[in-house]
Structure 1
Amino acid sequence: MLSARRWRSASARWLDVLPLGDAVASVLGLPLARTKLTLLTVTALATGLSALVIGPVSFVGLMGPHLARSAGFTRAREHLAGSILIGCGLMAAADLLSRLLFYPYQMPVGLFASLVGAPYLVWAVMRPSSP
């Protein structure tokens, strides 16, 4: 069983090496099948848990990593920190706008985040991906 420190170190290495491609990752000694299955399982559980606990506000979690990658955060640890900061900023902006745009009424912040984030997500899915 991996300790928490070793898990963070191993997963950061995995996330730094996997974008290089399967051939490079396997040459560097990464067990591809086990690594992908582990990361996919952890990601699926974290996503399901956040949607269960938070609800539609977790929609910001879909936009934060894409915006962080667009901002130039490429290494795993920096990308995670950038995603967190961008997600917090997006949520704060959505909360502020949901209170101000419909004053004296307040629109639910989850609904507002979804209304603002859905066009971005559609644009991100529709744009051609770079190699």
Structure 2
Amino acid sequence: MSTTPAQITEAELSVLTAELDALRNAPVLRNCLMPGCLRQYDSLASLSGKTPSRPEWSSAGWKMLGSGTVFPAGGNICPDHADLIGAHLPRRHSPTPDGWWQARCTCDTWVSPLHRWHGVLRALWEEHLLETAGLLPPPA
């Protein structure tokens, strides 16, 4: 059995309108690249100039990382980690003629070994970043 528009009460219409508004204004959350960081911002609110539905989802102070790094699609960095990651940007080098990949950190203290799959480079750089931040002990 279906309900006609004439049968919808004001209270039901109010609930439907609120649900529709929630769907239209759903956040599009982006995460920080720092391993273990749980901070997020609402990119849709940021792009549209609106205030995010939660204050902790503000884009104030966030930085964007472009392509050409170990993150092929780029990424986002929260204000808490902007300086650390800014000092340790990972740059992915083009593959060697035989198809091997390598990355180098802008700190010039870390270079990855050559790998056949470029996806390994992100995990290796994250390990370097965590060691630099003192969140992982140095290798024995």
With the length of structure 2 as denominator, give the TM-score of the two structures: 0.27
Bigger proportion of residues as strand: 2
With the length of structure 1 as denominator, give the TM-score of the two structures: 0.29
Bigger proportion of residues as helix: 1
